Structure 1
């Protein structure tokens, strides 16, 4: 389980690193820019300069990705891609990575108890990282969290019921 947690942390950290590495500004000042010059990602731009990266545009004086797109590194090149919405998360309680509040999960009053973004029923390092990344990317719209009992075992041609592998196989 720790290995899965480390992979998830590395993936989220890599996604967050794209936005921080993109904050290197072009050394050419806005006065030196002329018509046809290309600005780098997150560099200052104006109506006479174009953004260098394909799919980026000048908005509020900065070269950036359009709304509903996020910067990603693909084969060493920065590109704008559609933000992929996460629809379902299956989790096992594993302190300090994922902590579930049993009284919250059993409560009928908790309206948003299965919401990835707003659930008071889950906390922990991975949940905090996921929510922090969502603040920038907004990829948790209509996402639900489901607590499962195990990672799963493959027996007689099927995965254990109520396991992460069962959820991944689409049997839920």
Structure 2
């Protein structure tokens, strides 16, 4: 199975689950004399919050504060409206602007909107680069298609893959590598 360093969508869903199922822990029911129920949280302006450089996550079905992990490498594939590449930007001479995750005008779309919204709060895209690949990938003769999402994931060449895994349209080999009954690719721990 695949080992993935960072899964943005799982983190976003975990925070949503945490807020929904642990609303008492995050509700504005604290004050300077009361403590927050979750270890690592403190009361600020009546709201239980994680300390700076930490984020709420659900681990083993419990809400906890964890260090924010920086995402250094993102692999993506153009797929309207999820990921949209600006060809004129990508062909320009300004290589810094086209590869920077946080400020690049070269990429837009629903997944990049979600990524940038999460980064506004978490600040996890410092010194990050984007690599556009050619396909989701196929598994032939024991290897994944070169320069594909699956090749980058399996080869630990990326921390995050921004792509829509549309189960009905994926090849059988990709379906075998991704567990669609859960939201996690590979080992969820």
After TM superposition, the score normalised by the length of structure 2 is 0.67
Alignment of 1:125 onto 2:110: yes
User: Given the superposition, is the C-alpha separation of residues 22 and 134 from structure 1 closer, same or farther in structure 2, using an over 3 Å criterion?
Assistant: farther
Match of 2:99, SS state, is coil
| CA deviations over 1:71-127 (Å, ceiling 9, x no partner) | 122344321111122221111111111000111111112522111111110011111
Equivalent of 2:34, from 49, 54, 64? 49
Kindly name which structure, 1 or 2, has the bigger radius of gyration based on alpha carbons: 1
**Structure 1 position 154 matched with structure 2 position 121:** no
12 and 50 in structure 1: CA distance in 2 versus 1, 3 angstrom threshold: closer
The Cα RMSD (Å) is 2.7
Does 2:105 correspond to 1:106?
Answer: no
Map 1:9-158 onto structure 2 (within 5 A). 11=10, 13-15=12-14, 17=16, 21=20, 24=23, 40-158=25-143
Instruction: Give SS of 2:70's match.
Output: coil
On the 8 A contact 1:58/1:64 being kept in 2, the answer is yes
Decide whether the 8 Å contact of 2:41 with 2:50 is kept in 1. yes
- Aligned equivalents of 2:117, 2:51: Cα separation in 1: 21
How far did residue 62 of structure 1 move? 3.3
Query: CA offsets per residue over residues 1-24 of structure 1, 9 Å max, x none?
Result: xxxxxxx89636514525754894
Is contact 2:18-2:58 (8 Å) kept? no
Indicate how the Cα distance of structure 1 residues 52 and 171 shifts in structure 2: closer, same or farther if over 3 A, else same.
closer
Residue 163 (1) aligns with residue 145 (2):
no
Check whether the contact 2:28–2:48 (CA below 8 A) recurs between aligned residues. yes
List alignment gaps of at least 5 residues for structure 2.
1-6, 158-189
Distance 1:12-1:100 versus aligned 2 partners, 3 A rule: farther
CA shift in 2, pair 1:9/1:88, >3 Å? closer
1: distance between equivalents of 2:46 and 2:11?
28
CA spacing shift, 1:70–1:9, aligned 2, 3 Å: closer
